[in-house]
Chains A and B, each alone.
Chain A
Amino acid sequence: MTGKPRRVVVTSPRTAAARRPRHPLTREIDEQTRLGEVYMRSLVRTQFRLALFVCTLLACLVGGLPLLFLLVPDLRSAQLLGLPLPWVVLAGLIYPAFIAGAWLYVWQAERNERDFADLVERQ
């Protein structure tokens, strides 16, 4: 019990601190620094890829149907549940397909925005 307690060096890996930028990210975006631009471009690109994906699916469905009817003439007069197949598809089934596509898009687009906002605000 004699003497001073032994000195202990307290250190920290400071990993989080080392990665923290000097400004909040919103300021990087406001000042249009290169970092802010990188973040903005990544947001726009993510949303654009999603939009393009939905549009491509839509184009395949909508653009493919007339082609299918052209190339496979039997489909034009085919019957489904006693109704002409083209009518079942074009006057019925295609609408729920649109709504399902729209619903999935909204879900994913909101998620992308949430991720972006979390990323920017976490810093």
Chain B
Amino acid sequence: MSIAAVVVVVLAAILIGAFGIRMSRTTSDFYVASRTVSPLWNASAIGGEYLSAASFLGIAGLLITYGADMLWLPVGWTGGYLVLLVLVSAPLRRSGAYTLPDFAEARLESMAVRRASSVLVVLIGWFYLMPQFQSAGLVFRTITGAPEWAGGLVVAGVVAANVLSGGMRSITFVQAFQYWLKLTALAVPLVFMLLAWRSDGFPGLPPGDPWALPLHGREHPLYETYSLILATFLGTMGLPHVLVRFYTNPDGRAARRTTLVVLTLLGAFYLMPAIYGYLGRVYGLPATDTVVLTLPGRLVGGVGGELLTALITAGAFAAFLSTSSGLTVSVAGVIAQDILRGGVRSFRVATVLAVVVPFALAGTARSLPVATVVGLAFAVAASSFCPLLVLGIWWRRLTTVGAMSGLLLGGGLACAAVLATITGGPDTGWMGALLSQPAAWTVPISFAVMVVVSLLTPSRVPAGVARTMVRLHTPERLNVDRGDWRPRSL
């Protein structure tokens, strides 16, 4: 029955992709769509793209493994939008930037910084895509017994085909629907499982079980908790597939309101993985990413359990497909525009590159829990784009050289730590903690380098910074000169 659910979701994705062929996906289409899309739809679309396998499956798995400290993961993935709201959302929309490299170019007036941003977008996208494919493989193996690469291949293939045909992405309503599908796919089984839990007489944890206590279960719990908090709260704003959606807001004010709704939708969703984790522990399920899938069978059982498992499987594949296509479009767009020569042909090559590299990585890297690897992508974003956005929006004295050195050093160090972790670096001791949770040292380095180098190179402040500040901060109803910079359309 679960196989049928996967087939339905995959077929629906292909059909929607085929249906969307005639819908072109240019920046102006987004702009036109923005006039009709309300904050609720827009926010649902952001939620649909944002909630990946890591949220849907990964959190519960990590909770069972490490205990209460992992509750910070969903807290950070939601709270990141609060930081994004107050520091970035309205000015970012007003900048008119369509991608992170666009913002870098608009603010710093430098092609070099633009190119550095492009490389980082591609790396973050690949680090984020890789665990999606690995996770798809794991789920596919659990329900069919197929080898691990098969599920990843299905997802990679469908995403590549869809993006190449130009569909899927431009349809805000499809992504919005994905959010509500994922919410339902976790909520309905949860209701039945809570009923089953009640009829079992509310079994709890054995008294004195340290699993439920914070600061327990890892070697350096305090450092790792703080590092996780920094990575997730500051990394959200630097994710390439989130930013594009802000362009769909008609103005800065709508961008803020959309973010507020996103926060509410994510808060509602993230109440559930914790309960899955708790029940999984109570019923003694093994600590893997598939715990969400196996739990209904264990608690409810029978045909009902199978139906619920099928629903969760459908939600999981919706998560793989929506996040992966959002990321693939963003990564392919950046590769085509900034690394290849641009144009439709480049976009095709770029799409293949955007999917094949993380798929190959998924096969060769060691398999870590999906939420851990996604957390690493957040750490890279937090140590590169967070300082670029925050200083770029609020600090006039940021210089081209400063931004460039911060991006290279902060982003570079974080990427090195990620590569060391996924290829099998040290797992234990301080070295292991520093490499598997790099944000606590790479984020301060990146901020410090950007500020200090900027102060040392005052002559390299971009010439149009005053005009850019007007553009970023003045409300749209004022009729002022905002400069004539426009993002290059694909």
From 437 to 490 in chain B, residues with beta carbon under 8 angstroms from any chain A beta carbon are 466-467, 469-470, 473-475, 477-481
Closest to B72 in A: A90
Which residues of chain A from 27 to 62 have a CB within 8 Å of any chain B CB?
29-30, 32, 37, 40, 43-44, 47-48, 50-51, 54-55, 58, 62
A47/B214 in contact, CB under 8 A: no
Chain B residues, CB < 8 A from A50: 86
State how many angstroms separate the Cβ of A23 from the closest Cβ of chain B: 12
Stretch of A2-10, A12-20, A98-106 at the chain-chain interface: A98-106
Q: Is the CB of A66 within 8 A of B469?
A: no
Known: A66-B215, A70-B215. A109 touches B256 (CB 8 A): yes
A114 and B253 alpha carbons, distance in the complex (Å): 11
Give the chain B neighbours of A99 by CB distance below 8 A.
260, 263-264, 267
- In the complex, what's the smallest C-beta–C-beta distance from B462 to chain A, in angstroms? 14
B:66-115 near A, CB below 8 Å: 68, 71-72, 74-75, 78-79, 81-83, 85-87, 90
Residues of A in contact with B, size category: 35 or more
B-side interface residues toward A, CB under 8 Å?
68, 71-72, 74-75, 78-79, 81-83, 85-87, 90, 212-216, 222, 225-226, 229, 233, 253, 256-257, 259-260, 263-264, 267-268, 270-271, 274-275, 278, 394, 466-467, 469-470, 473-475, 477-481
- Additional A-B contact list (19), CB under 8 Å, known A29-B480, A66-B215, A66-B225: A26-B479, A43-B474, A50-B86, A62-B79, A66-B229, A70-B222, A84-B213, A86-B71, A86-B214, A90-B68, A90-B75, A90-B274, A91-B74, A91-B274, A91-B275, A98-B82, A106-B85, A106-B256, A114-B475
Interface residues in chain A, defined as those with a beta carbon under 8 Å from any beta carbon in chain B: 26, 29-30, 32, 37, 40, 43-44, 47-48, 50-51, 54-55, 58, 62-63, 66, 69-70, 76-77, 84, 86-87, 90-92, 94-96, 98-99, 101-103, 105-106, 109-110, 113-114, 116-117, 120-121
